[in-house]
Amino acid sequence: MRATPLSAPALRAVRDVPDDRAPLGTPPASAGLGSPGMTVARVLDVPALRSADPLLVAGEPGTDRMVRWVHTTELIDVAPLLRGGDLVLTTGIALPDTPGELVGFAESLDRSDVAGLVIELGRRWSVLPAALVEACDRLGMPLVALRREVRFAAVAQAVGERIVDAQLEELREAQRVHDVFTELGLAEADPAEVLEAVARLTGATVVLEDSQHRLVDYRPGPGDASSFLSDWQRRSRAVPLERRTAWDPANGWLMTRVGRPERSWGRLVVQSPGSPAPRMAAAAERAAAALALHNLHHRQRDSLVRRTHAEILAALVRDATAPDVLQRCELAGLPVGRRTFVGLTVRLGGTVAEGGPPRRVPGIDTVLAATVHALSEERVPALVAAVDGDVRLLLSLDRSVDARAVTEELAARLHRRNDVVVGAGVAVDRLAAVGASLRESVHVADSVRPETAGRAVHRLSDVHLRGLVSMLADDDRLQMFVSRELDRLREHDTRWSTGLLDAVRALVRHPCSKSDAAASLHMSRPAFYDRLAKIERLLGVDLDDADIRVSLHVAVVADEVLAGRTG
């Protein structure tokens, strides 16, 4: 199924503007689509012409052709002087006699795209020639016989006035659309308000869909919208939009693209069973432009806010007592007087990996947006930014509020939509101490073990040894300790593929049962004991010695934390 551009013969006033970059002040590309002005059928209903007892003798399908003006003539070679949409009035006294010439006359008018031919009977013919009738019928050009005498000047004046009135009405409708969307633009209206405006202006159901044809939002028209919306995604995929705006008569959809062709993120669809009027096309295109601008401004505005928040967070970590930091926090909307501050780090669940470097998963923008949304729902003022692949937050809470409960509720909202790990720093009452809270939240997130990652919020008290090691991760002496304890095992495994380091990890993770340690490696107990004996010979230690076990355990944990830092 393919949408057809609005340029059928019945729509003579179509103006196609292929440049999608036309400024908003210019008339919309589809301003003349489906004009409700004068058609041949409507002209025949004008009293001045109806008094002449008109009879449609040929070209009935063409009665929906638009009449642009009325041209009175008795010339046989008038076609080059006509414009598309002219309605020709004649008595026929100068028309040729032979069938071939009459056919040629009809074809010349058709080539000039005239709206139709009206002939007054009595002066030349009492019955129109069959050759002329057949030619007009074949061409689909309306041929009308006037069975009573009429003043052509009166007909031209009456029809002209109707055409001018219709054009003025179109201009008034276009001005109304312009005024509505100008006000919406100045008010920075959101998409819901834009859709409501389109529904009011068009009196029809309007749908906003994304680039995958999923229904984003809609506003119903006065009738039942259920059939219009049913099986939406499948039906929408079957109707491509190759131009900026098009009308699909099969579905009764007026469609316009939201955004530029190469960056389009969706379409606006207005219910239009019949050929859409200019105000409908204008409203749809102005709405699409408003939605695209809102999307662009929202992204730019949010991006600027996030950059500002990231800069303030970095300044707080460096030195929260700097003279301008307090002022920057207040300007960013973060209350600082008599408040409780909590640093949070939100990390994608995929960043926690067992026994190796973290597995980074794309989607931090989604988590950032969800975090901002959750804060808005909870009405919690905060600084929020993406920092080093995490979402970093600083909450500012009233001192009468339970900071722990607020943090838990906020984390619960995030967990409902995303697989994340939330690390929380200690709650502090001074802005000067927020750097420690923020750093602690990062250390906690770094220290979360895979088997405990499902908890809503992790705190330093939850991560024990891993938390301590994470806080010392930047100390070179920790790296030296890990190398001293594990490098010989790592080098032996690399050379001989012996799996000694895996055996040490299993041993320290199952300190109470060597059988469980062997089972975690899918090994028999004798084979596991044999591997432990190789480790003792290689390191020159006794693995049953408590100090040796603790030392290796700390080294294994530190190795995992350091791997996570550099992964």
First to last CA, the chain: 50
Q: Which residues of 292-306 are buried (b: 16+ CB within 10 A; e: fewer)?
A: bebeeeeeeeeeebb
Distance in angstroms (rounded) separating the CA atoms of residues 212 and 75: 58
* Measured CA angle at 107 (ends 101, 112), to 5 deg: 130
Helix axes 500-509, 525-539, angle to 10 degrees: 110
Residue 79: CB partners within 8 Å, gap ≥ 6?
108, 109, 111, 112, 114
Quick one: how far is CA 497 from the chain centroid?
Answer: 51
Comparing CA positions, the residue from 9, 13, 62 lying closest to residue 281 is 13
Which residue ranges form the domains of the chain, and what is each CATH number? 52-149 (3.40.1390.20), 333-462 (3.30.70.120), 476-566 (no CATH)
58 burial level (CB within 10 Å; 0-12, 13-18, 19+): buried
288 residue type, one letter: A
CB 468 within 8 A of CB 518: no
Distance in angstroms (rounded) separating the CA atoms of residues 404 and 424: 9
Distance in angstroms (rounded) separating the CA atoms of residues 285 and 509: 64
CB 438 within 8 A of CB 343: yes
Distance in angstroms (rounded) separating the CA atoms of residues 4 and 47: 35
- Stretch (H or E) spanning 386: strand 382-387
Torsion of CA 523, 526, 532, 536, to 10 degrees: -160
Distance in angstroms (rounded) separating the CA atoms of residues 454 and 451: 8
The count of other CB atoms within 10 Å of the CB of residue 413 is 17
Q: Secondary structure of 85-138 in the HEC alphabet?
A: CEEEEECCCCCCCCHHHHHHHHHHHHHCCCCEEEEECCCCCCCCCHHHHHHHHH
CB 315 within 8 A of CB 394: no
- Stretch (H or E) spanning 339: strand 339-348
236 burial level (CB within 10 Å; 0-12, 13-18, 19+): buried
Q: Which residue's structure tokens are 């080294």?
A: 555
Distance in angstroms (rounded) separating the CA atoms of residues 274 and 33: 11
Return the structure tokens found at 209. Answer: 């869909």
- Stretch (H or E) spanning 266: strand 266-271
Per-residue pLDDT of the chain in tens (567 residues, 90 and over written 9) = 444 443 333 222 222 323 332 332 333 333 334 445 688 988 888 888 888 899 999 998 888 888 888 988 888 888 888 888 899 999 989 888 899 999 999 999 999 999 999 999 988 898 999 999 999 999 999 999 999 988 888 888 888 888 888 778 777 877 788 778 778 777 777 788 888 888 888 888 898 887 778 777 788 888 777 788 888 888 888 888 888 888 888 888 999 988 776 666 788 999 988 888 777 888 888 888 888 877 766 665 566 678 888 889 999 999 888 878 888 888 788 999 999 999 999 998 754 444 443 333 447 888 888 898 899 889 999 999 999 889 999 999 999 999 999 999 999 999 887 888 999 999 999 999 999 999 999 989 988 876 565 688 999 888 888 878 877 888 889 889 999 999 999 999 999 999 999 999 999 888 889 899 899 999 999 999 999 999 999 999 999 898 999 999 999 888 888 886 665
Q: How far is it between the farthest Cα atoms of the chain?
A: 127
Distance in angstroms (rounded) separating the CA atoms of residues 239 and 229: 14
Q: What is the pLDDT of residue 23?
A: 30
324 residue type, one letter: D
139 residue type, one letter: L
469 burial level (CB within 10 Å; 0-12, 13-18, 19+): buried
Per DSSP, the residues of 479-516 read HHHHHHHHHHHHHHHHHH---HHHHHHHHHHSTT-HHH
Torsions phi, psi for 129 (to 5 deg)? -60, 140
Helix, strand and coil content of the chain, in percent to the nearest 5, comes to 50, 15, 35
- Please tell me whether residue 6 adopts helix, strand or coil conformation: coil
Q: What is the pLDDT of residue 31?
A: 33
Return the structure tokens found at 128. Answer: 């129109």
Comparing CA positions, the residue from 3, 2, 5 lying closest to residue 15 is 5
Comparing CA positions, the residue from 527, 469, 519 lying closest to residue 500 is 527
